[in-house]
A and B are shown apart, each in its own frame.
Chain A
Amino acid sequence: MTWSGEIDRVHIGATKQEGGTRSRVCTVGGAKNLPFLEGASEMPLIALEICDDTGSWSPIVLAYTGDVTRDAGEWAKKAEKEFGADLVRLHLTSTRKRGFSDVRGVRTTIEAVLQGTGLPLIIEGSNEPSVDSEVFSACGEAAAGERALLGTAEADRYRSVAAAAVAFGHGVIAQSPIDINLAKQLNILLHEIGMPHDRIVIDPFTGALGYGFEYSYSVMERIRTAALKGDTDLAMPMISAAADSLNIKEVREAPQEVRDETAVMWEFCAAFSAAVAGAEIVCVRHPRTLEKLKKGFAHLAGEG
């Protein structure tokens, strides 16, 4: 089957030659066919998610990962050297606290992570309109030249993150609530305020397995087939993070001895399926999920 469309290529990370400090550049997109078929893009990339305030992070992940979780820079280093992540996704969870004002701290964290790893970076900023502008501009500036991916733009608050991305040469994650039309609309909005198509990554929003994942799956499929059929407003790579996977009842209430395994399998199933549906980047939190996914993708590609 030949399709008329092609997915835009988005580059994340900049090496020294390109004005950054990353040891490599991740390129996602370029697919001319559905995933894992001939003409599909490269193997899906796996981002390990870390954060700067572990208050709301899964205790399972914290226990497994160990003391480095107290220092985002060290955590990022371990993600690269020990766990083998392709990218690091830094959640600035400190900005989600009530009365947040420590914008300097945000800069310091980003700088530490950039020091800790040479991997390309995804930075998730605040989630509160009153501080968005300040936080995103700090994120953009602290990572200037690194061609990071900034998140998250949504239809009702995309201006701050897009402004920072445009000003400092980063890409943006465009998240919409599991709806192909809303995904398209957000891409248009971003484009209309000056965001080039090849710096947008679609996050169609992923529910945890058993908690709406099937909706996410079919929306990803629809987005991808629409793009391959020639809809340029949807022809961007996709990122998927079933972030709730580790907090669901089945994991929380699993018997102690199988809890770790349950958590990993739950994360794995959603991330793996998302890649099958078309996601170019899947994000996970448990290092063992990452390991499993690598094997799974290789297997699916006939390399395992």
Chain B
Amino acid sequence: MPVVTFLPSYRKVEVERGTTVLEAAQKANLNLNVVCGGQGKCGKCVIYRQSGETEFDREKYALFFTPEELERGASLACKTLVLGDLYVEIPESTLIQEQKILMESKAADVPVLPSVTKYYVEMSPPTLEDPSPDLTRLLWRIEKQGGPSVRKIFAPLPILRELSRTLRENNWMVTATVAIVPGGYRLIHIEGGDTQARLYGAAVDLGTTTIVVTVRSLIDGAILAVASNYNRQIGTGEDILSRVNYARKSGLARLQQLAAESINRALHSACNMAKIDMDDIFELEIAGNTVMTHLLLGIDPEYMIAEPYVPVVRRSIYTTAEHLSLDAHRTAGVYFFPSVSNFIGGDVVGDILTCGMGEREDVSLLVDMGTNFEVVLGNKDWMFSCAGAAGPALEGAEVLFGMRANPGAIEKVRIETRPFQVHYETINQIKPRGICGSGMIDLLAELLRSCFIDRTGRLDITSSNPRIRQGEYYPEFVVVPKDDTEIGKDIVITENDIQNLIMSKAAILAACYTLMDAAGINKDDIGMIYLAGAFGNYLNRLNAITIGLIPEVPVDRIETIGNGALAGANIALINRDRRNALDTIAHEIAYIELNADPTFMDRYTSSCFLPHTDLSLFPTVEKMLAECRLRKEE
């Protein structure tokens, strides 16, 4: 069999002839960027062949490369077949980088009140005078130490089968683990000696693309490690719809397995970092969208993608790690966040828990931004929600130089007109490689302020500024000239990119107004706007308003909550009262179907303008733009 050697790491792997380089790389545990799931559509898995025989259709995929790159042996890993021993170079830009993931402090000051508790107990052995059964002796001691009362703890059969031996082999000194499950208290584990200090839990954000895991101590709530991993289901399809279709073609078991493997990989890295044993994880909280939740549970999601769009279950679900092949203690409880509808899943319920909007009197607007977005409006008494597709532009796809929030991504932009200068900052302060979502929002706002684009986002090609030029297909603005970039090409934003961004933001803004109108409130009634999602942490709030991504409110009423699903899972992990409230929150949220709302299209079209067709909704932006125009005319 051919041997593929990957440079610069010199990792070697043996594969069948005809395997793709992508599969070989995965076998070698190299995580390549495959946004499209290996369909040759995204052009992100670029590799360079050094020597050896491969098969690759250069003409078909020519659009992804410059002639020089092809000359140097560039090809797409997913569409390159290994025909013999091979040396391939994997440029750094092709490897998946750890994304910037912040643990929100919001989740940190929650009282530690976990659902699982360990009790170290020492019992006296039974005697003729005190012949009470083994279980009674154990539970009685637990009660004595402040645990639940004897009658309330359920002990399952597998524990009973081990009990007598475990107690006697350990000299009647054991640690019992008691979990709160939907039916009450359950004795889930018993082991010799005092292991009370080793009680851990994991909070899991189960995303369509990315999985993030936090491992925490359930004694003091300390965060021990955070790890992430791509959702390995990506190989079966990039978006939710293709996953469901894959499941329908009898791939449900495979998808369940891939989801579990993805979580396990992240768990492994987190536990390694934290230097803990995975068997000491006794609780997992999983917040994921409705489809991902179904898939990890191995429940058929088929009926969710066609009218009338019904999920099998929307309430919270409790099961154990062994049923899902998750690498934690086999009896560890796995708690799944409840959903509201097909499109408002446990991840959004996590956002709601994180921002605390369901506990307050004043009205909050929550926006979770991604390829699919979700919006929730309400307070402790009522909530409306809706969801829709915004397209991947704000996450860096469908934009020529778009990228995820990885090192080298431009995340902040400021344009000065006199003298003309483009200031920017990149993640990790290295030379720029592309632009991520927050950078694009800044760029759009700054181009508008400097009057380089009009309110439809079209570049003023009559401008004398040399940074504005006619590109190969569209007019474009040069953000960074090639000499200052890492990639040796001018980093530009094209008019087409701008259109994609505007369509994305318009869908989100139109959804916000749909809910506000349904509730009969205007922007001044909104107490807080919470932004969740991949780039929520780094968003320039004023710029988000300037382009009309969200309704105009004073910037101090906008708070970013970052990865709300992860933060929510963390809160539920360490505080059982908050976890218990989830079903009630989810149950009381009304869902508005945008497709069934005839006014949505109108709102969308009027939002396809910067910031909106009706400037009276954006009084501050109106003033600012008028000043900008005046300055330009001077």
A residues whose Cβ falls under 8 Å from a Cβ of B = 133, 155-156, 159, 163, 179-182, 184-185, 188-189, 192-193, 233
Given known A159-B462, A188-B613, A192-B629, contact A181–B456 (CB-CB < 8 A): no
CB distance from A160 to the nearest CB of B (A): 8
Residues of B within 8 A of A133 (CB): 462
Q: Flag the segment in B57-65, B237-245, B601-609 that touches A.
A: B601-609
Given known A184-B613, A188-B455, contact A179–B460 (CB-CB < 8 A): no
B residues whose Cβ falls under 8 Å from a Cβ of A = 454-456, 458, 460, 462, 602, 605-606, 608-609, 613, 629
CB distance from A38 to the nearest CB of B (A): 30
Question: How far does the alpha carbon of A192 sit from the alpha carbon of B460 in the complex, in Å?
Answer: 13
Given known A181-B613, A184-B613, A185-B613, contact A192–B454 (CB-CB < 8 A): yes
CB distance from B632 to the nearest CB of A (A): 11
Residues of A within 8 A of B605 (CB): 179, 181-182
Which of A179, A189, A193 interacts with B456 by CB under 8 Å? A189
Question: How far does the alpha carbon of A155 sit from the alpha carbon of B455 in the complex, in Å?
Answer: 10
Q: Is the CB of B460 within 8 A of A159?
A: yes
Given known A179-B605, A192-B629, contact A185–B458 (CB-CB < 8 A): no
Residues of B within 8 A of A233 (CB): 613
Q: Which 4 A-B pairs have the closest CB atoms?
A: A181-B605, A181-B606, A185-B609, A185-B613
CB distance from A199 to the nearest CB of B (A): 18
Residues of B within 8 A of A159 (CB): 460, 462
Question: How far does the alpha carbon of A189 sit from the alpha carbon of B460 in the complex, in Å?
Answer: 12
- CB-based nearest A residue for B604: A181
Q: Is the CB of A185 within 8 A of B460?
A: no
Given known A159-B460, A181-B602, contact A189–B454 (CB-CB < 8 A): yes
Main secondary structure of the interface of A (DSSP, over half): helix
Given contacts A155-B456, A185-B606, A188-B609, 10 further A-B contacts (CB under 8 A): A156-B456, A159-B460, A159-B462, A163-B462, A179-B605, A181-B605, A181-B606, A181-B609, A192-B454, A233-B613
- CB-based nearest A residue for B625: A192
Question: How far does the alpha carbon of A180 sit from the alpha carbon of B608 in the complex, in Å?
Answer: 13
Q: Is the CB of A192 within 8 A of B458?
A: no
Question: How far does the alpha carbon of A180 sit from the alpha carbon of B462 in the complex, in Å?
Answer: 28
Question: How far does the alpha carbon of A181 sit from the alpha carbon of B455 in the complex, in Å?
Answer: 13
Q: Is the CB of A189 within 8 A of B455?
A: yes
Question: How far does the alpha carbon of A155 sit from the alpha carbon of B454 in the complex, in Å?
Answer: 10
Question: How far does the alpha carbon of A188 sit from the alpha carbon of B618 in the complex, in Å?
Answer: 15
CB distance from B487 to the nearest CB of A (A): 30
Question: How far does the alpha carbon of A59 sit from the alpha carbon of B604 in the complex, in Å?
Answer: 42
CB distance from A178 to the nearest CB of B (A): 11
Residues of A within 8 A of B606 (CB): 181, 184-185
Question: How far does the alpha carbon of A90 sit from the alpha carbon of B153 in the complex, in Å?
Answer: 91
Residues of B within 8 A of A193 (CB): 454
Question: How far does the alpha carbon of A262 sit from the alpha carbon of B460 in the complex, in Å?
Answer: 45
Question: How far does the alpha carbon of A193 sit from the alpha carbon of B458 in the complex, in Å?
Answer: 13
Q: Is the CB of B455 within 8 A of A192?
A: yes
CB distance from A278 to the nearest CB of B (A): 19
Which of B455, B462, B602, B629 interacts with A185 by CB under 8 Å? B455
Provide 5 A-B residue pairs closer than 8 Å at the C-beta atoms, listed in order of the A residue.
A180-B602, A184-B613, A185-B609, A185-B613, A188-B455
Residues of A within 8 A of B608 (CB): 181, 185
Which of B458, B602, B609, B629 interacts with A156 by CB under 8 Å? B458
Residues of A within 8 A of B613 (CB): 181, 184-185, 188, 233
CB distance from B294 to the nearest CB of A (A): 38
Question: How far does the alpha carbon of A180 sit from the alpha carbon of B602 in the complex, in Å?
Answer: 9
- CB-based nearest A residue for B602: A181
Residues of A within 8 A of B458 (CB): 155-156
- CB-based nearest A residue for B495: A156
- CB-based nearest B residue for A157: B458
Question: How far does the alpha carbon of A304 sit from the alpha carbon of B608 in the complex, in Å?
Answer: 46
CB distance from A261 to the nearest CB of B (A): 40
CB distance from A255 to the nearest CB of B (A): 42
Question: How far does the alpha carbon of A193 sit from the alpha carbon of B625 in the complex, in Å?
Answer: 12
Q: Which of B455, B458, B613 has the most CB of A within 10 A?
A: B613
Question: How far does the alpha carbon of A193 sit from the alpha carbon of B602 in the complex, in Å?
Answer: 25
- CB-based nearest A residue for B629: A192
Residues of A within 8 A of B609 (CB): 181, 185, 188
- CB-based nearest A residue for B633: A194
Residues of B within 8 A of A189 (CB): 454-456
Residues of B within 8 A of A180 (CB): 602
- CB-based nearest B residue for A133: B462
Residues of B within 8 A of A185 (CB): 455-456, 606, 608-609, 613
- CB-based nearest A residue for B461: A159
Residues of A within 8 A of B629 (CB): 192
Question: How far does the alpha carbon of A159 sit from the alpha carbon of B459 in the complex, in Å?
Answer: 11
- CB-based nearest A residue for B605: A181
- CB-based nearest B residue for A159: B462
Question: How far does the alpha carbon of A179 sit from the alpha carbon of B460 in the complex, in Å?
Answer: 24
CB distance from A24 to the nearest CB of B (A): 36
